[in-house]
Structures are given as C-alpha cells and as structure tokens.
Amino acid sequence: MPIKDSIATGVTHFFQATGFTIEGLKSTYRSEIAFKQEVLLLPVILLVAWLLFGFPSALLLTSMWLIVCAFELCNSAIENIADLVMPEKNEFIKRAKDAGSAAVGVAIAANICTWLYVIFV
C-alpha cells in the first residue's frame, strides 16, 4: 500500500472518529439527565477553577471534572448496551449497571477530594 493511501486513511479515520465523538456527546446529552447536569455544571467549574486558582490547579480541577463526564459517558454506554441485550430484569445486567454507576460515583469522590485539596492545602 502506498504511503499516501495510508495517510489518507488515517486522516479519514480521524474525521470519522471525531464525528462519532460529537454524535456520542450529543445523543448522551439529549438522553441522559446526569450527563446533561454534569455538562451544564462545566462552565461553573471552569469559571471558579480558572478565576480562583493558578494554572496548575485550575487545569487539574478541569481535568477531574472531564473525567467525571467521561465516566458518565461510559456508564451510559453500558446501560444502553445492557438494555438492548437484556430488557428484562437480570442480576448480571444489574451488576453491570451498578458497576458503571459506581465508577461515576468514585470519579465524583475523587473530584471532591481534589477540590478539597486545592482549596485547603
């Protein structure tokens, strides 16, 4: 395969992946209340972090909130797949959904700990 073809494929893949990312963000924002709340809280997080703290701390606090959003996206993906595969109640599906929810909870706890550290240390 010529080099030019593999570069074009790489660029095409990049733009396709970007489109999938945007669609995933939009559809999750439309369908998941928790993700919508986290996204709507993002400007407040950014404003407080970047106005009150220096660059390293603001970057850390922003990143921590983006991690919460990333876990929420993963949790939504797990729930959607689980509901498609097994719409009726199932203990394994419940465990998968609970684990996804717990991942979001742990990310939020880490976020709170990081904010407390930045504020008080």
96 and 38 both lie in a single domain: yes
Active site residue 38: no
CB 107 within 8 A of CB 66: no
7 and 40 both lie in a single domain: no
Query: Max Cα separation, the chain?
Result: 57
**What total number of domains does the chain contain?**
2
Choosing from 23, 32, 38, 72, the catalytic residue is 72
pTM: 0.87
* Cα R_g (the chain), whole angstroms: 18
1 pLDDT above the threshold of 50 = no
44 and 15 both lie in a single domain: no
77 and 101 both lie in a single domain: yes
- Which domain, by its residues, includes 45? 33-120
100 and 46 both lie in a single domain: yes
67 and 86 both lie in a single domain: yes
Task: Convert the pLDDT of each residue in 59-99 to its tens digit.
Answer: 999 999 999 999 999 999 999 999 999 999 999 999 999 99
49 and 105 both lie in a single domain: yes
